[in-house]
Structure 1
Amino acid sequence: MENYVQPPTSSPRPIGLLATIAKGTNTEIVEIVAPSSAVAGDLVTVEVRLKNTFWDWLWLAVTGELFYYNGSGFSFSPEYAAVDPGETYSFTYSFIMPSNDVWIDVWSWYSDGTKWIYDDYRLAFIALTTPGTISRMELEYDEDRATIPAYGILPG
């Protein structure tokens, strides 16, 4: 990387604005990889794939906010990264699923060497689900259900 620029001293913080745009000026949130649902208490990992669409390398960062959780903002890991032009970089964040649905607002940022500039926005939704259970009644098996395989079920 030519012309090395020192990154800002800290990563950006969520701006709290909901401004959906198709693609940022210098970055594009290509994909948010997250489960569509999770059970309360599960560890949920979210991966944001961020592309540098600028002609030169940039310091990039991703921040987020979990709504219907604690409402506080967070930075993904790593806090920021130097990304070459045309490259896509993955940032991750994990949290414990609460006992309700959550949505995650995600913002991308790039640094001009002195400050962080907001550039792109995406949203992901994770629904609360309940763990599956099998009752004794569902385990009963007779000739009427002879075509339904009932093997590999451990007694419990």
Structure 2
Amino acid sequence: MFELMPEQSGNIERAIEQAVEKMGFIKRPIARGRLSKTNVPYKRVSIEIGQSEVAVGFDGREPIRMPGNGQPIRWKREDGETFDVSARVEGDRLLQTYKAEDGQRVNTFFKAADGALHLQVEVSSPQLPQPLKYELVYRPAA
């Protein structure tokens, strides 16, 4: 289990503004609202990597259990939106990908030398002029 270190994490609001700044004035607030709603920093993260399965949990919710070979599963978020979610290990990184009809989100997890867990997020969509990118840093929970 890992806990968010806000002082070492990126500013999501600023990253969202950068991602939508080149949009027209009509689409910009819609995109900003959707990105703000779905990119809330998780306070706690748990990761289990087994022989054939990867489980990733956020903020005490039921972990998402995925095959570790990148094979996607169908998963429904609390608000009812459905995604294809997959996980695969590449070297010292775990990549978790959420694919929806209107875009995708890739969470890249890796541990730093100091034991901190880094989560790099990239959200891309044909609706966005550029991807939303930010990084969150977590410390091992006591």
**Smaller-chain TM-score bracket:** 0.3 to 0.5
The TM-score, its normalising length taken from structure 1, stands at 0.30
Instruction: Work out which of the two has the higher radius of gyration on C-alpha atoms and give 1 or 2.
Output: 1
**Higher RCO structure (Cα 8 Å, ≥6 apart):** 1
Task: Flag the structure with higher helix content.
Answer: 2
